[in-house]
Amino acid sequence: MRLKGKVALVAGAGTGIGAATARRFVAEGASVVLTGRRPGPLAEVAADLGEAALAVPADMADTAQAREAVRAGVERFGSLDVVIANAGGHGGNAVADTDDEDWRLSIESNLTTCFVTCREALPALVESKGAIVVVSSIAGLTAGPAVAGYVTTKHALVGLTRSIARDYGPRGVRVNCLCPGWVRTPMADEQMDELVERDGITRDEAYALVTKDVPLRRPATAEEIAAICLFLASPESAIMTGSVIVADGGATAVDLPTLAFA
């Protein structure tokens, strides 16, 4: 068990990557604090995990709520060793079509949530010499169409990761940034359903369409991304901090101008 006796806080733990990571961590011996804005999904995951899980519904962009989630976890389990900063998701539209409220929501949901989560957890992580995994996206490295807020804030998470690594590495805290490509999650399913409606195809065909030029020709599963979170949280990655790890089936390895020759 690679996380035996460790305590992890997983933000965005109700579904998708967060839920899969929480389950994997408990299987590896950890106790988990599950946070997110929707109490229902958190309660379902916590019920599956039993005494090893504590659900704390919270908007982790809110300082008071994030602080309380950290406090509740430390009080229940005795320490905090790992943070998975996974919450986020807003940010559609091109720049000229993004109004002030959309821009504010993009920053709050993707960047502020991660910043506040990490800031409020850092005192406990310094004490435990713990680890943070910032879940960004390949949108933190490249730009998709008409998602300016999402792309901008996911890029910013790479900078936040490096800043924390530089400042808190000397105090024993590691932080790495994970950039997945397409992952089969409820959020991605909603995006696939746009293609389902537009093209009259199935959801599986939509996933095949968006990965047709990806070398592995498929999206990841949430469990595959959870396995990488486990590696980054465990002693197996003890020398790694400030790193950007891409898990995209090879998508960002593709030279787009040569696609016509394929």
The dihedral through the CA atoms of 16, 20, 21, 26 has a sign that is: positive
Q: Where are the alpha helices (DSSP H) in the chain?
A: 16-27, 39-49, 63-77, 100-106, 113-128, 148-168, 186-199, 203-210, 222-233
> Would you tell me how many other CB atoms lie within 10 Å of the CB of residue 23?
20
Q: Is 227 exposed, middle or buried (0-12, 13-18, 19+ CB in 10 A)?
A: middle
Tokens at 24, concatenated: 């994997």
Whole-angstrom distance, CA of residue 201 vs CA of residue 258: 27
- How much of the chain is helix, strand and coil, in % rounded to 5? 55, 15, 30
Catalytic residue among 77, 103, 115, 150: 150
Query: Is residue 87 within 8 Å of 12, Cβ to Cβ?
Result: yes
Whole-angstrom distance, CA of residue 151 vs CA of residue 139: 5
* Residue 168 annotated among the catalytic residues of the structure: no
Residues serving a catalytic function are 150
